[in-house]
Structure 1
Amino acid sequence: MSEENSFIERMFHLRENGTTVKTEFLAGITTFMTMAYILAVNPTILSATGMDKGAVLTATVLASCLGTVFMAIFANYPFALAPGMGLNAFFAYTVVLQMGYSWEMALSAVFVEGIIFIVLSLTNIREAIFNAIPMTLKKAVSAGIGLFIALIGLFNAQVVVGNAATKISLFSFKASIASGTFHTVGITVVLSLIGVLFTAVLMERKVRGNILWGILFTWILGVICELTGLYVPDPAQHMFSVIPDFSAGAAAFMPASMAPVFGKIDFTNMLTLDFFVVMFAFLFVDIFDTLGTLIGVSSKANMLDADGKLPRIKGALMADAVATTAGAVLGTSTVTTFVESATGVSEGGRTGLTAMFVAFFFLLALFLSPVFLAIPAFATAPALIIVGFLMLGAITGIEFNDLTESIPAYLTIIAMPFCYSVSEGISFGVISYVLVNFLTGKREKISILMYVLAVLFICKYIFI
């Protein structure tokens, strides 16, 4: 074994985890490509507050890179971090645009939340919460996340769309053709469905890297369609060119300065009730989104021990907490563990080396942003849909004959896609688990911490 491979083995314990450098590389690039959309989406969302879009892009890249490296070093897990979807929307549209606070004040709330997060991680509170959740709910969280990320994929591909009458509905090819938008939107739906079928065939044939190949295949089809006029980009409909744009020459490869957002933290309103409410909202969602993702992805990778505990969870939680704090200083909203990490796990990623590869690709994106920003949502959608299928398999571990276990599990599963939130799924599951078992006389199954969590979740719905 070479000295380099020996160092990698000592640091990440590849043989112990049944993996190789090649497998971890494939897992890393797959995870990165399924979450690369955050490089385009996060700056767009946060720029609505007045933040400089280019500066936010650089901050997003560096915060994602740092957080993912922290995960690799602190916990040796194949989980990637980036500014969280939902949390960035809350930051921009609720805290700043709706409530009227400055984005500097919102960053300070994220910073304080991160500090509290670090303290909670050091005191084992978050680890205790993770361990208190029954195994049935952990299986349900994994299945629920599967449905959730599948729904994200269906939305990204526009296979499923918003509908005023029925809330959501299947994309209408007939309406698309009649309105003349088929070559803008309809063709991408077709391409994403082809991508799902292509990936499924590769999986059945046990082709290594099948999810990654599915992404690349769908993207290449998109490029061919654009070159031949079958796909016509229309920025007004958020349908952009899938061909990398190097028209800016050498400048296209240079990252934008972070100066407009770096260190812009404002503690002026720190002692006000409004600040506390905003900070607590960030904290609450971040805690349970992270716990839900760790439960779901680690269950998929069979990383939980016989008692349903995740070894080295303190390091994973600490990585998330430190990344959130660092991200606020860099100039972006809450950094959290991404459910898209499941795509890399599905490719065989088992150690922090996967995370290191993801971090490397994020860093590379600073200088190759035209390439990575050209990866369309409809190309990564097949990966999310297929991984959703793989994670749904956890449902077989739920004891459906015991209604005190299966009904809370069921509520956990359906709440995640229907409420569009991992944390809401956990909330529904915990509250229903406690109430169902308490009211049916099976109180010995409920730990003290589960009672506390149920009360906290109920209070959240009443007061926040």
Structure 2
Amino acid sequence: MELKKKENNENKGFLDKYFRLSERGSNLKTEMLAGLTTFIAMSYIIFVIPGQFLVAAGVPKGAATAATILSAAVATLLMGIYANLPLAMGPGLGIGAVFAFVMCGSMGLNWQTALGAVFISGVVFFILAVTNITKSIIEGIPKVLKSAIGVGIGLYISFIGFKNAGIIIASKGTIVGIGNLKDPATLLAIIGFIIICILMARNVKGAFLIGIVLTTIIGMFMGVAKVPTSIHDFISFIPPLPTDTFAKLNVMAAVKYGLVSIVFTITIVDLFDNIGTIIAVSGKAGLLDENGNLPGINRALLSGSFAAMIGGLLGACTVTTYLESASGVAEGGKTGLTSVTTGVLFLCALFLTPLTALVPGAATAPVLMILGCLMISEIVHINFTDFTEGMPAFLTLIMMPLTFSIVEGMSFGFIAYTVLKLVTGKHKDLNPIMYALSILFIIHLVIA
């Protein structure tokens, strides 16, 4: 029996042995198909992250696109090779909103300082992962607030999408109002929204990417999108590099501004993004143990921390794990070879960066508008019949879009949760982590 097992191991190829394909009930063909599926599902970030966030923060568009693609490729390859998990990574949408509209917007930071904060948050994430503090923080935050944060970020991102599409605009009388729906760019965004909604309702794979492409083509006929005139508008024979942003981060300026106000925010949001997605996708892949835990999760967390540092170094906002990885898992992906395939495809996408110049903001804004619908499903886990939980959750999710800040929403929600639990004698629902976080958020509101 042992001899037969030894012979089987010897017959396995390098990829089978390294990624444990047979052990997890997979094979090379399945993993590569799964990796392609994941790439198609999340490749929309090549257009959305630079177009909606990085350029808005002042990052040069060419470098922003190259940094987005390269950081996604390197981070995803790292996750596949080191953690051996079918998880793809890229600059996060929620973090992108924080980067562009909070850090480089309301806080007034330049993008170099914001990148410095992103890099520091990666270092902090690494320390937390190595010391297992990450696990304590995640376990210490009540589930109701975790759900509320996800819903709030979804509403916040949707608000940005509607604003960037021109569907809602500033109004002196009512704060916000309806925009000019006859404007060609706004009309194109509405058309794109309808197209993507139809594709998603029909469960079409790659709905976001297909929707962006179709909307861009329609935009060319409407005069909103640039019409290509040569092959160079489609492909770059020499892959561009983020030379304008590489290593341009300003760590010292970020430290001088205040670690609590910016790094804490990025780190917490990144932690939730990573932990939630890692557990959810790993569960779909059947990789969790009987207690619902992922064996070797620290490798995934360490990969996530390095990914955050990579983003800051290359010139992109914090890199995080993408829920679109579940599409690859649905195709049978169970190992890191799925991620390696996705990462290689992102590297190949560097040759297609000229395409981003053809895609107007009106074609990518609908993606943000729809994300709110996808993320609001977590609201069913909030118990609004218990006021000590319902009100903190409500404050968390409503204050994010109203204050145009994720951290402000978290501040109001966490503080309210601690105070209401204390005054109602439910102090047993609290723990040292919640006390510490509430104090930090109070300090943030005072010094903001």
Give the TM bin, normalised by the shorter chain.
Answer: 0.7 to 0.9
Which of 56, 64, 69 is 2:72 aligned to? 64
Q: Specify the alignment match of 1:134 in structure 2.
A: 142
Structure 2, gaps ≥5 residues long:
1-10
Partners of 1:219 and 1:299 in 2: CA distance:
32
Q: Is 1:81 equivalent to 2:90 in the alignment?
A: yes
Q: Is 1:116 equivalent to 2:100 in the alignment?
A: no
C-alpha contact 2:70 2:346 (8 A) present in aligned 1: yes
Report how far residue 290 of structure 1 moved.
Answer: 0.7
Count residues with an aligned counterpart. 424
Which of 336, 339, 344 is 2:319 aligned to? 336
Aligned to 2:50, the other structure's residue is in SS state helix
Within-5 A mapping of 1:358-373: 358-373=342-357
Partners of 1:190 and 1:128 in 2: CA distance:
44
Q: Specify the alignment match of 1:193 in structure 2.
A: 193
Within-5 A mapping of 1:157-196: 157-173=165-181, 176=182, 182=183, 184-196=184-196
Which of 336, 359, 382 is 1:398 aligned to? 382
Partners of 1:56 and 1:323 in 2: CA distance:
16
Which of 246, 266, 276 is 1:286 aligned to? 266
Partners of 1:12 and 1:131 in 2: CA distance:
34
The alpha-carbon distance between structure 1 residues 397 and 250, as it changes in their structure 2 partners (threshold 3 A), is closer
Code of the aligned partner of 1:286 = I
Partners of 2:197 and 2:124 in 1: CA distance:
45
Partners of 1:149 and 1:425 in 2: CA distance:
13
Structure 1, gaps ≥5 residues long:
177-181, 234-239
The alpha-carbon distance between structure 1 residues 188 and 426, as it changes in their structure 2 partners (threshold 3 A), is same
C-alpha contact 1:72 1:78 (8 A) present in aligned 2: yes
Q: Specify the alignment match of 1:442 in structure 2.
A: 426
C-alpha contact 1:327 1:335 (8 A) present in aligned 2: yes
Partners of 1:310 and 1:422 in 2: CA distance:
28
Within-5 A mapping of 1:303-452: 303=283, 313-330=297-314, 332=315, 334-337=317-320, 341-345=322-326, 355-356=339-340, 358-452=342-436
The alpha-carbon distance between structure 1 residues 456 and 358, as it changes in their structure 2 partners (threshold 3 A), is farther
Q: Specify the alignment match of 1:25 in structure 2.
A: 36
Q: Is 1:276 equivalent to 2:256 in the alignment?
A: yes
Q: Give the alignment's Cα RMSD to 1 decimal.
A: 4.0
Report how far residue 399 of structure 1 moved.
Answer: 2.4
Code of the aligned partner of 1:419 = T
C-alpha contact 2:102 2:405 (8 A) present in aligned 1: no
Deviates more, 1:133-142 or 1:435-444: 133-142
Q: Specify the alignment match of 1:145 in structure 2.
A: 153
Q: Specify the alignment match of 2:50 in structure 1.
A: 39
> Identity across aligned pairs (percent)?
28
Which of 423, 442, 446 is 1:458 aligned to? 442
Code of the aligned partner of 2:40 = I
The alpha-carbon distance between structure 1 residues 161 and 73, as it changes in their structure 2 partners (threshold 3 A), is farther
The alpha-carbon distance between structure 1 residues 402 and 163, as it changes in their structure 2 partners (threshold 3 A), is same
Using the size of structure 1 for normalisation, the TM-score is 0.74
Partners of 1:82 and 1:363 in 2: CA distance:
15
Report how far residue 439 of structure 1 moved.
Answer: 0.9
Report how far residue 248 of structure 1 moved.
Answer: 4.3
Report how far residue 312 of structure 1 moved.
Answer: 5.2
Using the size of structure 2 for normalisation, the TM-score is 0.77
Which of 220, 223, 243 is 1:226 aligned to? 220
